[in-house]
Amino acid sequence: MKQKNVFVLEKGKVVTPFQVFEKGTIVVEGERIAAVGAAGAVDIPRGAEKADISGMVATPGFFDLHCHGGGGRGIMDGTYEAMNEVSKFCAKNGVTSFLPGTGYGEKCPHEKILATAIAAGKAIKKGTDGSEVLGVFMEGPYMNPKKTGGDERPPSISEFDEIMDKSDEAVRVIALAPEVPGAIEFIKHVTGLGVVASIGHSDATYDDLLKAIDVGLSYTCHTFNEMLPIHHRFPGAIAGVLTRDEITAEIIADGVHVHPVVIRLMLRCKGTDKVVMSTDNSEFTGMPDGTYDKYGSKIVVREGTVKKTKERVIGGIKEDATIAGSGMTLNQHVKYMVQNVGVPLREVVKMASTNASRLLRTGNLKGSLEPGKLADIAVLDDDFNVMMTFVRGRIRHKRGSA
Ligand SMILES: [Zn+2]
């Protein structure tokens, strides 16, 4: 019989996040967590391999529900191989579960989305060498044509059903504009299938949003970005997002997408149980600074930002360019939330892991460090660098090794 992998992480801070142990111990057996607790309060199995994580912090592995790529590889390649490479990029950033996102770039024909969903279905079945693929996030294509995104078109139930059928039902979240014709019927249909419907790239009014909530819409795509701003007499969808408990709000906390005081405002309205941190990373995240010619645009990567310009570039950079995803990885978003927004780490961990797991209904397996749950663990140093990442008890990233 094959010996079960048994190891112990000890002497570091452990954020479960429901409890914090300043000097904690985690025991892993096989792919699950066997025990978690304060040093001395946990039985260490004889012969277990031990890793000293003094000065570091162990948290549940992060979730990224909005990731288009990273390190030079894009999800829309539509191959298992590209997905696997992105999964390795995610694991480097402490992400142990992710939803590869369609919709990045200028054109997003049905065939391309379908190929990507099929590749994700394969990645779910076969497994990957990094972060676990839990399904697909469809960012569009059913968006408001006035907003930037892919190539927008009206919602199509038959198109969506074909994607679900051929991908082994890989789609877990879809973002669309609830105000476009046919959207309400579409939301009713997808939420009936257990897919999370999300508002994104939309000009929805407050009333439009309420109608969508009534038929099951429960999530947002990068809250505040590509949505109508709040006006005190015409509040727009954002006022509904902030005040309705049915909605969990996604935020891109990288200091570029949203001002920190607006994140604070959101947290005062939503609390830390109804917010999910995602990256909107693209294939350009993690690439050296420079200008990349792709998708009919110039993509400028500079100091942790990724922006899209049209043909005109002034002084090397066009300052009013559209944001084209975040240049910062999820561990850096966590750092930003703690250091720039001022949120305690245990609350940030909920937003980077626990809440997303609950939204995808995987909370019984993932999203916290508790006995019986999968050993998906991120170990960070005091500057939020990811030192180690474990997925189902297997090491998928170790800082300093290739
Ligand atoms: Zn996106």
What's the pLDDT tens digit per position in 389-400?
Answer: 999 999 999 998
Q: Is pLDDT of 291 > 90?
A: no
In this prediction, residue 303 carries a pLDDT of 77
- For residue 206, the CA-to-ligand 1 centroid distance in Å is 23
CA of residue 271 to ligand 1 center, whole Å: 24
How many angstroms is it from 381 CA to the middle of ligand 1? 28
Give the predicted TM-score (pTM) of the model. 0.94
Q: Which residue has the higher pLDDT, 317 or 194?
A: 194
Dihedrals φ, ψ of 27, to 5°? -105, 125
Asked whether residue 105 carries a pLDDT value surpassing 70, the answer given is no
CATH number of 62-300+308-359: 3.20.20.140, 3.40.50.1820, 3.40.50.20, 3.40.50.300?
A: 3.20.20.140
Distance from Cα 231 to the centre of ligand 1, integer Å: 25
pLDDT at 308: 76
pLDDT at 240 over 90: yes
Q: Across-strand partners of 74?
A: 69
Q: What is the pLDDT of residue 2?
A: 57
Q: What is the pLDDT of residues 157-193, one digit of tens each?
A: 999 999 999 999 999 999 999 999 999 999 999 999 9
Q: Quote the CA–CA distance of 208 and 218 in Å, as a whole number.
A: 14
Where in the sequence of the chain do the CATH 3.20.20.140 domains occur?
62-300+308-359
Q: Find the 265 Cα to ligand 1 centroid distance in Å.
A: 23
Instruction: State CA 169 to chain mean position distance.
Output: 19
Give the Å distance between the CA of 226 and the centre of ligand 1: 11
* Sequence letter at residue 183: A
Residues 6+ apart with CB under 8 A from 376: 60, 61, 96, 97, 132, 366, 390, 391, 392
**Do 62 and 94 meet the contact criterion of CB atoms below 8 Å apart?**
yes
Considering the chain, tell me which residue range(s) the CATH 2.30.40.10 domain(s) occupy: 6-59+368-398
The pLDDT tens digits of the residues spanning 41-71 come to 999 999 899 999 999 999 999 999 999 999 9
Residue 316 tokens read as 């090397």
Q: Which is more confident, 358 or 109?
A: 358
**Residue range 306-353, pLDDT digits in tens:** 887 654 444 454 445 677 778 899 999 999 999 999 999 999 999 999
CATH superfamily of the domain spanning 6-59+368-398 = Urease, subunit C, domain 1 (2.30.40.10)
Quote the ligand 1 centre to 237 CA distance (angstroms).
Answer: 19
Give, in order, the Cα–Cα distances in Å from 183 to each of 110, 212, 250: 17, 8, 20
Q: Is the pLDDT of residue 292 over 90?
A: no
Ligand 1 centroid, distance to 279 Cα (angstroms): 8
Look up residue 261 and give its two tokens.
């005081």
Per-residue pLDDT, 382: 97
Centre of ligand 1 from the C-alpha of residue 126, in Å: 25
Query: What spacing in Å lies between the alpha carbon of 221 and ligand 1's midpoint?
Result: 8
Confidence of residue 148 (pLDDT cuts 50, 70, 90): low
Q: Nearest Cα to 272, choosing from 370, 342, 192, 184?
A: 342
Does a cis peptide bond (omega within 30 degrees of 0) precede residue 288? no
CA of 353 to the centre of ligand 1 (A): 19
Distance (angstroms) between ligand 1 centre and the Cα of 33 equals 33
The rounded Å distance from CA 103 to ligand 1 centre is 7
CA 319 to centroid of ligand 1, rounded, Å: 20
Q: How much is the pLDDT for 314?
A: 40
